[in-house]
Amino acid sequence: MESQAPEVSDLEQLWGTVLSDIELRISKPNFLTWLKNSRLIESTEGSALVALPNNFAKEWVETKYHKLILGSMRSINGTTKHVEYIVEGSLSQRAINRRRRETREHQDEKQLVFQEMRVDPETNLNPRHTLETFVVGSFNELAFSAAQAVIENVGTKYNPLFIYGGVGLGKTHLIQGIGNEIRSRSDNKVGVKYVSSEKFTNDVLWAIRNRRAEDIKNTYRNVDVLIIDDIQFLGGKEKTQEEFFHTFNALHQNNKQIIISSDRPPASIATLEERLRSRFEGGMIADISAPEFEARFAIAKAKLQERGVELDDKIVELVAKRVQRNIREIEGILNKLVFHQITYKRPLDSATTEKIIAEVTDKSASRATPNQVIKAVSAFFEISPNDLIGRSRNKEYVEPRQISMYLLRELLSMSYPDIASRIGKRDHTTAIYACKKVAGNIDKSPDLGQKIVLIKEDVNKFG
Ligand code: ADP
Ligand code: MG
């Protein structure tokens, strides 16, 4: 039997408590954009239903904040097992009830699968990035053994550990793998925090603007292990570098472990303050180079096994031969090949394989939609698409906005008036200016070029 639905005011109260808890744990702009207009529609028999104002907010909240919301619901109402999300007004009460009954039986199974993919909101680590699934070859051996040493001697042996290497070679996987390993060996007792340099920068800017410097300290100095990804993006950002310098020192003095990744060694980050550079050089520096053929083959096999799918070894060999510098690209191609094989229900031949490889490597983002570009840019900078196309002239929005205009032009060959109208109904001269500016800056700043490469790679992930 259905249990009685609680009074509306109970729901409001419950949700209000959940929100005030979440508000403390995510940035103000994110909270206002994504959660302020949410509503708890139902909370019965261990399952809760949350309504969001539109589909995009629903997807975003579902992927980014589900664990946080579930955790918070549970801490308030211990019986909550599932949280689901719908678009406000999209379901009648009867449909809600039916949906709940139907999904209940499969929920446990589904939640298990999803949770495996979800980023842990406490550590920001992706549980998929483990050292068990990390293939070691001579190209990354040094970095891997340094990682092992850090795991055995957290904070005391190599501090900081600085890993560098090109795009898609496994830096993020490795440094997150260290974090996951330290967590699991310590029974989740050691406090680990993973952060991208973009997120760190945004947090610092936000704290400065809102006079909440304490927030930065609380977030980043109360950890045992701080992992910061793609530190090259701190280049030229003075305020952020200064804050990072203090964070670094506070942690280092207390033997807290710091793990850093970068696309190049500290000495080559042009606009990095000298004092930070020498701190980085005071630890262990290890590089990851391009994987040799055998390693690429092994990685491809491992990825297939992880997904529980099979491809002929000849096909895998072909992929490993063709794609030499980017492991992420190997994965993208494998996904397409597997998809193709399943759709057409027959093994792939080498001509088809070559064609698919060429498609992925040549023009990975050319069939994207403007919306995908906007989503990819927003996600990269960890801002909302609304802020991206919005009116604010804050530095943290202006750069992403200009980059998205540049990408709409470059990837989709859109006209300037179209670009301008898509990005917040602006004047076409704004689009011309933005595209010129970004194009000019790419030549001057390798960081910008790097960001654009990374965003382009991501565009197809956004449906
Ligand atoms: P980077 O941060 O250097 O750009 P990532 O860590 O994001 O690269 O790696 C790109 C993809 O390749 C990820 O999906 C990752 O799991 C995979 N990958 C990279 N290196 C390895 C490895 N040695 N073994 C298994 N998978 C790897
Ligand atoms: Mg990375």
Closest ligand 1 atom to residue 140 Cα is: 23
**203 and 284: one domain?**
yes
Is the pLDDT at 108 greater than 80? The verdict is: no
**170 and 270: one domain?**
yes
Instruction: Out of 307-316, 319-328, 367-376, 447-456, pick the least confident.
Output: 447-456
User: How remote is the CA of residue 342 from the centroid of ligand 1, in Å?
Assistant: 25
**277 and 297: one domain?**
no
| CATH number of the domain within which 341 lies | 1.10.8.60
**165 and 190: one domain?**
yes
Is the pLDDT at 387 greater than 50? The verdict is: yes
Closest CA to 15 of 61, 56, 76: 76
Q: What is the pLDDT of residue 451?
A: 84
State the average pLDDT over residues 281-295: 94
User: How remote is the CA of residue 171 from the centroid of ligand 1, in Å?
Assistant: 6
> How many domains are contained in the chain?
4
Q: Is residue 173 part of a domain?
A: yes
Q: What is the pLDDT of residue 45?
A: 67
State the average pLDDT over residues 97-108: 50
Pocket of ligand 1 contains residue 172 by CB under 6 Å: yes
Pocket of ligand 1 contains residue 334 by CB under 6 Å: no
Q: Is residue 3 part of a domain?
A: no
* pLDDT interval class at 114 (50, 70, 90): very low
Q: Is residue 35 part of a domain?
A: yes
Range of the domain at 273: 141-288
State the average pLDDT over residues 369-380: 92
pLDDT in tens, 37-62: 899 888 776 788 899 988 888 888 98
| CATH number of the domain within which 438 lies | 1.10.1750.10
More reliable by pLDDT, 10 or 316: 316
**359 and 375: one domain?**
no
| Domain end call among 317, 340, 364 | 364
Q: Which residues of 301-322 are buried (b: 16+ CB within 10 A; e: fewer)?
A: bebbeeeeeebeeebbbbbbeb
Protein residue with its CA nearest to atom 11 in ligand 1:
328
pLDDT in tens, 425-450: 999 999 999 999 999 998 788 778 87
Q: Is residue 135 part of a domain?
A: no
C-alpha to C-alpha distance for 108 and 400, rounded to whole angstroms: 39
- pLDDT, averaged across the chain: 86
Pocket of ligand 1 contains residue 169 by CB under 6 Å: yes
Q: What is the pLDDT of residue 42?
A: 82
Pocket of ligand 1 contains residue 299 by CB under 6 Å: yes
* pLDDT interval class at 331 (50, 70, 90): confident
* pLDDT interval class at 105 (50, 70, 90): very low
More reliable by pLDDT, 463 or 270: 270
Protein residue with its CA nearest to atom 21 in ligand 1:
170
**359 and 225: one domain?**
no
Is 449 annotated for ligand binding? no
User: How remote is the CA of residue 387 from the centroid of ligand 1, in Å?
Assistant: 30
**298 and 405: one domain?**
no
pLDDT in tens, 3-16: 455 555 677 877 88
Residues whose Cβ atom is located within 5 A of ion ligand 2: 172
Protein residue with its CA nearest to atom 18 in ligand 1:
170
User: How remote is the CA of residue 264 from the centroid of ligand 2, in Å?
Assistant: 12
Q: What is the pLDDT of residue 6?
A: 56
C-alpha to C-alpha distance for 406 and 259, rounded to whole angstroms: 33
pLDDT in tens, 346-362: 888 999 999 888 877 76
**356 and 400: one domain?**
no
User: Which one of 328, 451, 454 would you pick to mutate in the ligand 1 pocket, going by the greatest count of ligand atoms within 8 A of its CB?
Assistant: 328
Is 46 annotated for ligand binding? no
Q: What is the pLDDT of residue 80?
A: 79
pLDDT in tens, 192-251: 999 999 889 989 999 998 999 898 999 999 999 999 999 998 888 889 999 999 999 999
Protein residue with its CA nearest to atom 19 in ligand 1:
170
CA 344 to chain centre: 32
Q: Which ligand is nearest to the CA of 326?
A: 1
**151 and 266: one domain?**
yes
**352 and 382: one domain?**
no
Is 179 annotated for ligand binding? no
pTM for this predicted structure: 0.64
Is 103 annotated for ligand binding? no
**150 and 259: one domain?**
yes
Closest ligand 1 atom to residue 261 Cα is: 2
Q: What is the pLDDT of residue 447?
A: 78
Pocket of ligand 1 contains residue 256 by CB under 6 Å: no
C-alpha to C-alpha distance for 389 and 305, rounded to whole angstroms: 41
| CATH number of the domain within which 214 lies | 3.40.50.300
**162 and 273: one domain?**
yes
Pocket of ligand 1 contains residue 135 by CB under 6 Å: yes
Pocket of ligand 1 contains residue 128 by CB under 6 Å: no
Q: Which residues of 56-94 are buried (b: 16+ CB within 10 A; e: fewer)?
A: bbbbbbbebbbbbbbbbbeeeeeebbbbbbbebeebeee
Q: Is residue 111 part of a domain?
A: no
